């Protein structure tokens, strides 16, 4: 199937099922689908805690279950499984260069360098951070210098120092990639972007031809980090708001022990505080609250509510029934976790739709484009690589 047919199949499926995955149960306690798919709601709400945990921890089990309820989901999930990029090479002495790099990141860098299609051009590392990827590319292809673009001065200094220590032809330029004065740094080059967020990768995709980029390898991430209120594809009918853009990145809690308990407590207490607000203000719509200092979770639920109320400029009546609010928070959390499972089963099709849109935008600018997985999901869930060359 070509990229366009692939995209259109996902676009039609996602547009048709939008009422199932678009509402966020945390905020919309009663999504409209509860009415017309009461069968799904009933099955999810009947899950015991063990079954809930199993479905949260294993996307394949969750997808199989939801696919038995939603026609077309099985096919959409199959369309979301891109082929693996072949490993074309063993990266050059990676262990020599991996000082100070967190293990997982270095393995991602190695996997990407092993899979990058052969391109004999000088390279640019887009949004380089400390330039780990640029360092390995420079060691792998010493004949092609690497220019690493990064906005943060401290990361630039750290990256430049590492490159110098290893004697590599990797040079850093401190720059805002969204406001480059001209295309000089990019023209005729091979640009490689690992985990460039939202607008940072979208700018690259939209401007590739105008910037005269000869070849591009892009691993997108954090689709929701954008200044645009909604995402419009080039050729599809579906639009995504920020919740939709965030959905592919929604991971269920993988933390263990204390972290997990703390996150659970915060979620329950936030919902409990919201239940209290509903009584006090009469507003039945979930009112999101800003992030909190972790210290607020160390006291009692009452201390938490008083701190939240004070910050929000709300006076809690002395008669407020805090025990009832906390119990309602617990009940809402249990319900929300179960109802949220439905939308989680659409993460992969949505991400595939987003990535294919980027591929099609590049194709429309005259590039030959291919999409594939460059590493296992366990190494990074953002493992889709878009390769484009003129
Ligand atoms: C998610 S990190 C990825 C870093 C690196 N590519 C990696 O995979 O480790 C994104 C990087 O983009 C940089 N960045 C953010 N906005 C930028 C901008 N407007 N111009 C250049 N770099 C930017 C950040 O400082 C950060 O280092």
pLDDT digit string (tens) for 96-140? 777 778 778 999 999 999 999 999 999 999 999 999 999 999 999
Instruction: Report pTM.
Output: 0.93
Instruction: Please name every residue paired with 373 in a beta bridge, in sequence order, or none if there are none.
Output: 84, 384
* Residue with CA closest to ligand 1 atom 12: 127
Q: Is 153 in the pocket of ligand 1 (CB under 6 A)?
A: no
Residues 6+ apart with CB under 8 A from 122: 144, 145, 146, 147, 188, 189, 190
Q: Cβ-count burial of 265 within 10 angstroms (0-12 exposed, 13-18 middle, 19+ buried)?
A: middle
Q: Which tens digit of pLDDT belongs to each residue from 207-218?
A: 999 999 999 999
The Å distance, Cα 357 to ligand 1 centre, comes to 22
Query: What's the confidence (pLDDT) of residue 255?
Result: 55
Please give the Cα distance from 180 to 170 (Å, whole number). 19
Query: What's the confidence (pLDDT) of residue 94?
Result: 63
46 C-beta neighbours (distance < 10 Å), count? 9
Determine the atom of ligand 1 nearest the C-alpha atom of 149.
21
The Å distance, Cα 195 to ligand 1 centre, comes to 8
Please give the Cα distance from 173 to 156 (Å, whole number). 7
The Å distance, Cα 151 to ligand 1 centre, comes to 7
Query: What's the confidence (pLDDT) of residue 288?
Result: 86
The Å distance, Cα 196 to ligand 1 centre, comes to 6
Q: Is 128 in the pocket of ligand 1 (CB under 6 A)?
A: yes
Instruction: Please name every residue paired with 147 in a beta bridge, in sequence order, or none if there are none.
Output: 124, 171
Q: Which tens digit of pLDDT belongs to each residue from 60-83?
A: 999 999 999 999 999 999 999 999
Q: Cβ-count burial of 292 within 10 angstroms (0-12 exposed, 13-18 middle, 19+ buried)?
A: middle
The Å distance, Cα 84 to ligand 1 centre, comes to 26
Please give the Cα distance from 137 to 159 (Å, whole number). 14
111 C-beta neighbours (distance < 10 Å), count? 20
Q: Which tens digit of pLDDT belongs to each residue from 330-372?
A: 999 999 999 999 999 999 999 999 999 999 999 999 999 999 9
Q: Which tens digit of pLDDT belongs to each residue from 298-320?
A: 999 999 999 999 999 988 888 88
The Å distance, Cα 200 to ligand 1 centre, comes to 8
Query: Does the pLDDT of residue 227 top 70, yes or no?
Result: yes
Q: Is 178 in the pocket of ligand 1 (CB under 6 A)?
A: yes
Using CA atoms, how far residue 144 sits from 114, 160, 317, in Å, is: 16, 17, 69
| pLDDT band at 195; cut points 50, 70, 90 | very high
CA angle 323, 328, 333 (to 5 degrees): 130
The one-character DSSP state at 86 is P
Q: Which tens digit of pLDDT belongs to each residue from 254-265?
A: 556 677 788 889
358 Ramachandran zone, left/alpha/beta (phi>0; psi -120 to 50): alpha
Q: Could you give the ipTM of this predicted complex?
A: 0.99
- Helix (H) and strand (E) counts in the chain: 17, 9
Q: Is 217 in the pocket of ligand 1 (CB under 6 A)?
A: no
Query: What's the confidence (pLDDT) of residue 11?
Result: 98
């Amino acid at each position: 199937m070509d990229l366009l047919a692939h995209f259109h199949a996902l676009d039609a499926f996602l547009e048709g099922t939008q009422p199932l995955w678009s509402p966020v149960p945390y905020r919309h306690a009663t999504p409209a689908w509860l009415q017309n798919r009461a069968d799904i709601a009933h099955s999810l709400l009947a899950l015991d805690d063990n079954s809930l945990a199993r479905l949260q921890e294993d996307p394949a089990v969750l997808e199989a279950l939801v696919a038995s309820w939603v026609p077309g989901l099985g096919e959409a999930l199959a369309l979301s499984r891109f082929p693996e990029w072949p490993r074309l090479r063993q990266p050059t002495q990676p262990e020599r260069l991996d000082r100070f790099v967190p293990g997982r990141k270095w393995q991602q860098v190695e996997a990407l360098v092993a899979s990058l299609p052969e391109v004999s051009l000088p390279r640019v590392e887009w949004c380089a951070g400390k330039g780990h990827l640029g360092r390995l590319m420079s060691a792998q292809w010493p004949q092609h210098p690497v220019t690493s673009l990064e906005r943060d001065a401290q990361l630039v200094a750290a990256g430049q120092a590492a490159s110098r220590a290893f004697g590599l032809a990797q040079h850093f330029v401190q720059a805002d990639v969204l406001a480059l004065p001209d295309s000089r740094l990019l023209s005729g080059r091979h640009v490689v972007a690992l985990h460039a967020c939202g607008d940072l990768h979208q700018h690259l995709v939209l401007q590739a031809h105008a910037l005269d980029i000869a070849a591009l390898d892009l691993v997108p991430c954090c689709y929701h980090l954008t200044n645009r209120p909604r995402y419009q594809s080039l050729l599809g009918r579906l639009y995504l708001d920020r919740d939709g853009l965030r959905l592919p990145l929604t991971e269920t809690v993988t933390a263990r022990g204390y972290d997990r308990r703390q996150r659970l407590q915060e979620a329950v207490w936030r919902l409990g505080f919201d239940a209290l607000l509903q009584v006090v203000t009469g507003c039945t719509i979930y009112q999101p609250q800003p992030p909190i200092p972790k210290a607020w979770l160390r006291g009692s639920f009452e201390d938490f509510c008083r701190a939240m109320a004070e910050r929000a400029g709300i006076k809690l009546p002395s008669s407020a029934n805090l025990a009832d609010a906390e119990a309602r928070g617990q009940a809402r959390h249990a319900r929300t976790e179960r109802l949220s499972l439905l939308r989680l089963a659409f993460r992969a099709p949505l991400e595939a739709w987003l990535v294919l849109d980027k591929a099609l935008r590049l194709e429309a600018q005259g590039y030959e484009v291919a999409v594939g997985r460059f590493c296992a999901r366990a190494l990074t869930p953002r493992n889709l690589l878009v390769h484009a060359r003129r």
